[in-house]
Structure 1
Amino acid sequence: MHILDDLAQRDLIQQTTDDDGLRKHLEENVVTLYCGFDPTADSLHIGHLLPVLMLKRFQKAGHRPIALIGGGTGMIGDPSGRSTERSLNSADVVKGYSDSIKNQLAHILHFDDSKNGAVARNNHEWLSSLTIIDFLRDVGKHFSINYMLAKDSVESRLENGISFTEFTYMILQSYDFMNLYEKENCTLQIGGSDQWGNITAGMELIRRTRSEKSEAEAEVFGLTVPLITKSDGTKFGKTAGGAVWLDPVKTTPYEFYQFWINTDDRDVIRFIKYFTFLEMEEINALEKELESAPEKRVAHRRLAEEMTKLVHGEDALQQAEKITEALFSGDLKSLNAAEIEQGFKDVPSTVVEEKNIALVDLLVNAGISPSKRQAREDIKNGAVYINGERNTEINYQMQETDRVEDKFTIIRRGKKKYYLIRYN
């Protein structure tokens, strides 16, 4: 199947600059394409996943992707999709962010020396050596103010104001496309739909510079993917705890798995089309299963499995599933210390110095029960669980066997209130 047909049936194409021309170009060539990622944090989040996976889809179809890390443009700030100006980071911070993002991209894309092996580039390499005079004479002259003001990324900011710094972002991104076209024969830029103006500006710059040199018109193309919205009106990629990061330290594989498995029924099939590489035949079967037996959540589990394995690997997926099953069944003794750290990251925790403390004292000291009297009643009534097992001994003394790897004890009071005890 043609890559564009596959993207179309997954509803992954928002706009193309020339659908017929691009289709023919992809049929006749191993096409080099790129997408840019500005290092605004030390990790990508799942809002970046769609364009990253688009690069991977083209790579699987035999084309050569370039992951462009915006070490230069990241010091300027993209006004697209924002109502206020970004705060500027120092060069050292941006470099650190750039290195982290490159490592994350390498985990998803195949960086190698094969014909269609992905490569990472950093636009700091060419933007940092570009003088202001060269920039104005050789690049800026090709952009009229009227042309730039008409672009959505600029027009949407005029009411609240836009600095000259961010105003020039479009030109810098256009220069990236021209540079990659000239040095790497990159003929296709992809991005979110908010990047349409920047992409078409880059194509125009390439054509103008070639015309200036009396060269034949370049065959260059642009393609955008839809910006993701959720059916319940909330922002995609956000939870009560903040962004869902690709970095397993910032968002654990268990949290990552939970994000996907808790997808709204109205979104799950759409997200499977967007983010997974499952064949449409299987996706259609999952859709029928969802319609006939939504309570089984088969599609949700499949989405969570595919995404966790893709981003964090098979071992992390198995760990996330093990934690999920343990929490569902209450069999917490099966978890090791690392799994407890993941699964109980956000529950109240207390550091305890005395390991063989009386259970009543532990409940009070950790703020689990408000008083010793209440603690005794909780224990007597069977409301207290140690590592998933009910304990009804009022005079119980905590044992070494209650500590997982001598680091943690999980106390549950009632049906759902968990507390994590940490030991020094």
Structure 2
Amino acid sequence: MTHVLDDLDARGLIAHSTDRDALRAELSAGPVTYYVGFDPTAPSLHIGNLLQILTARRLQLAGHKPLLLVGGSTGLIGDPKEAGERIMNTKETVGEWVERIASQVSRFVDFDGPTGATLVNNLDWTAGLSTIDFLRDIGKHFPVNRMLARDVVSSRLESGISYTEFSYVLLQSMDYLELYRRHGCVLQTGGSDQWGNITAGVELIRRADAGKVHALATPLITKADGTKFGKTESGTVWLDPDLTSPYAFYQSWIQAEDSKVVEYLRQFTFIPLEEIAVLEAEHAEKPGLRLAQRRLAAEVTTIVHGADEAAAAELAAGALFGRGELGELPEPTLAAALREAGAADLSAADRPTIVDALVASGLADSKSAARRAVADGGAYVNNVRVTDPDQVLEGDLLLYSTWAVVRKGKRSVSGVRIS
């Protein structure tokens, strides 16, 4: 059986680690308790967080016990960003986000059995902590010169960094110490952008308790041009379906670049590496079929939103372009797909025509251009070629009495919502 470290390595999931041989030995000796943390600085987790959740799941599947920390206290402050000081959210807002994110992460791991996951909140051990005790018990272990040398701190010294954000590393390090003491946690995982915070926790445990623990960081996931993966034209790709619809989520993976799609398959899915190698060969032979992208989108959407939503998103992607029945799409999926495609709103009282729909949806620059598209046989409503540019969009031309899919040619698709 492949060692979990070898699997993580083969999938490109290890950017940094402390003493790899010692970590391997500890993981081989028996179940290890490990943790990964998430700060509620937004109402939902996103694709970058998903990589951490799935890494935690891989370790659990290998027989180890996860602690999922949601930072009720660290979320009140926020990890320093190079861009500048964070805006602090209210305690009520952060408390609400703690509950939402705890619910999100809970879907990805098992809570039963000897390696069942445990949810923890660092507010439990910081809420009653006095400033004096914090400075005496934690602060004394942190040399200021090392804190100043951290990349994010040094980059902010000229522009300014508050003492609050400067001290964030102490709070995260204390999390590791507390989990080491309370749960016997000996491994922290996280993204490579957290490596300084993670290793500071390792050092704190050594200084405070003479304990030896481990750290492992995943790489920053990027696009081919080096920019951060997980952003689209419409913004961050969230895990919450109310913030990013399952259809939009599916589309974000379908659009993966040819040069990166196999890498994402290794990192974000549980498909065996041997099977991914076959997909890689098929993709290299016929990249135009986008077999790798379709498999990636289906797998990750299933993991996050379930098989039904993944199937609906896949059906919608084909139906919009005439490769499936639009009438078979659930209305929420159809609505999400058309909003993602830039659907426009029109009023039924204005008795909008096909020409109006083509212009409003952006598929034609003018009414005369819209009429030419109809005359040339290149205009479609609900995948049916239209011949009368003045036909009013009503009755049977509307899906769910509201929506119309408008297409020009084979590839330009949008829609309208008639209200």
Among 398, 402, 421, which residue is 2:417 paired with? 421
User: In the TM superposition, what is the alpha-carbon distance from 1:362 to its structure 2 partner?
Assistant: 5.4
Residue number in structure 2 paired with 1:171: 170
Q: TM-score, normalised by structure 1?
A: 0.91
Q: Please show how residues 331-346 of structure 1 align to structure 2 within 5 Å.
A: 331-346=325-340
Identity of aligned residues (%): 45
User: Quick check: 2:220–2:228 contact (8 Å CA) kept in 1?
Assistant: no
Residue number in structure 2 paired with 1:390: 385
Paired letter, 1:260 = W
Q: Please show how residues 300-311 of structure 1 align to structure 2 within 5 Å.
A: 300-311=293-304
User: Quick check: 2:381–2:407 contact (8 Å CA) kept in 1?
Assistant: yes
Residue number in structure 2 paired with 1:325: 318
The answer to whether the aligner puts 1:316 opposite 2:313 as a matched pair is no
The answer to whether the aligner puts 1:92 opposite 2:88 as a matched pair is no
Please list the CA deviations of residues 136-174 of structure 1 after superposition, one character each: whole Å capped at 9, or x if unmatched: 111111112122223333233323222110111010011
CA distance in 1, matches of 2:112, 2:314: 35
User: In the TM superposition, what is the alpha-carbon distance from 1:287 to its structure 2 partner?
Assistant: 1.7
User: Quick check: 2:321–2:383 contact (8 Å CA) kept in 1?
Assistant: no
User: Quick check: 2:191–2:220 contact (8 Å CA) kept in 1?
Assistant: yes
Change in CA separation of 1:207 and 1:272 when aligned onto 2, cut-off 3 Å: same
User: In the TM superposition, what is the alpha-carbon distance from 1:332 to its structure 2 partner?
Assistant: 3.2
For residue 349 of structure 2, give the secondary structure of its aligned residue in structure 1: coil
Residue number in structure 2 paired with 1:47: 48
User: In the TM superposition, what is the alpha-carbon distance from 1:309 to its structure 2 partner?
Assistant: 0.5
For residue 311 of structure 1, give the secondary structure of its aligned residue in structure 2: helix
User: Quick check: 1:402–1:409 contact (8 Å CA) kept in 2?
Assistant: yes
Residue number in structure 1 paired with 2:61: 60
Please list the CA deviations of residues 29-84 of structure 1 after superposition, one character each: whole Å capped at 9, or x if unmatched: 211101111111101110111111110110110101111111100111211x5231
User: Quick check: 1:309–1:317 contact (8 Å CA) kept in 2?
Assistant: yes
Q: Please show how residues 24-423 of structure 1 align to structure 2 within 5 Å.
A: 24-79=25-80, 82-110=82-110, 112-210=111-209, 217-329=210-322, 331-346=325-340, 347-354=342-349, 357=351, 359=353, 363=357, 379-393=374-388, 396-413=391-408, 416-423=412-419
CA distance in 1, matches of 2:373, 2:217: 58
User: Quick check: 1:337–1:407 contact (8 Å CA) kept in 2?
Assistant: no
Query: 136-145 vs 335-344, which deviates more?
Result: 335-344
User: In the TM superposition, what is the alpha-carbon distance from 1:94 to its structure 2 partner?
Assistant: 0.7
CA distance in 1, matches of 2:373, 2:145: 72
CA distance in 2, matches of 1:275, 1:376: 46
Please list the CA deviations of residues 339-365 of structure 1 after superposition, one character each: whole Å capped at 9, or x if unmatched: 22111013132242339x373685599
Residue number in structure 2 paired with 1:214: none
CA RMSD of aligned residues (A): 2.3
User: In the TM superposition, what is the alpha-carbon distance from 1:193 to its structure 2 partner?
Assistant: 1.3
User: Quick check: 2:355–2:390 contact (8 Å CA) kept in 1?
Assistant: no
CA distance in 1, matches of 2:407, 2:345: 13
Give aligned pairs, total: 414
User: In the TM superposition, what is the alpha-carbon distance from 1:417 to its structure 2 partner?
Assistant: 5.0
Q: TM-score, normalised by structure 2?
A: 0.92
CA distance in 2, matches of 1:158, 1:411: 53
CA distance in 2, matches of 1:78, 1:303: 31
Please list the CA deviations of residues 260-279 of structure 1 after superposition, one character each: whole Å capped at 9, or x if unmatched: 11111111111111111111
User: Quick check: 1:333–1:387 contact (8 Å CA) kept in 2?
Assistant: no
For residue 35 of structure 2, give the secondary structure of its aligned residue in structure 1: strand
CA distance in 2, matches of 1:102, 1:5: 29
CA distance in 2, matches of 1:133, 1:336: 58
Paired letter, 1:300 = Q
User: Quick check: 2:187–2:216 contact (8 Å CA) kept in 1?
Assistant: yes
Unaligned runs of 5+ in 1: 211-216
Query: 170-179 vs 8-17, which deviates more?
Result: 8-17
For residue 242 of structure 2, give the secondary structure of its aligned residue in structure 1: coil
User: In the TM superposition, what is the alpha-carbon distance from 1:378 to its structure 2 partner?
Assistant: 5.4
Change in CA separation of 1:372 and 1:175 when aligned onto 2, cut-off 3 Å: closer
For residue 188 of structure 2, give the secondary structure of its aligned residue in structure 1: strand
Please list the CA deviations of residues 317-355 of structure 1 after superposition, one character each: whole Å capped at 9, or x if unmatched: 100110011023265344342222111013132242339
For residue 186 of structure 2, give the secondary structure of its aligned residue in structure 1: strand
Moved over 4 A (4+): 360-381
User: Quick check: 1:73–1:172 contact (8 Å CA) kept in 2?
Assistant: yes
Change in CA separation of 1:297 and 1:398 when aligned onto 2, cut-off 3 Å: closer
Change in CA separation of 1:83 and 1:378 when aligned onto 2, cut-off 3 Å: closer
Change in CA separation of 1:307 and 1:360 when aligned onto 2, cut-off 3 Å: closer
User: In the TM superposition, what is the alpha-carbon distance from 1:113 to its structure 2 partner?
Assistant: 3.4
User: In the TM superposition, what is the alpha-carbon distance from 1:394 to its structure 2 partner?
Assistant: 5.5
Unaligned runs of 5+ in 2: none
Change in CA separation of 1:176 and 1:364 when aligned onto 2, cut-off 3 Å: closer
User: Quick check: 2:406–2:414 contact (8 Å CA) kept in 1?
Assistant: yes
User: In the TM superposition, what is the alpha-carbon distance from 1:397 to its structure 2 partner?
Assistant: 4.8
Residue number in structure 2 paired with 1:213: none
CA distance in 2, matches of 1:413, 1:386: 9
Query: 305-314 vs 336-345, which deviates more?
Result: 336-345
Change in CA separation of 1:203 and 1:396 when aligned onto 2, cut-off 3 Å: closer
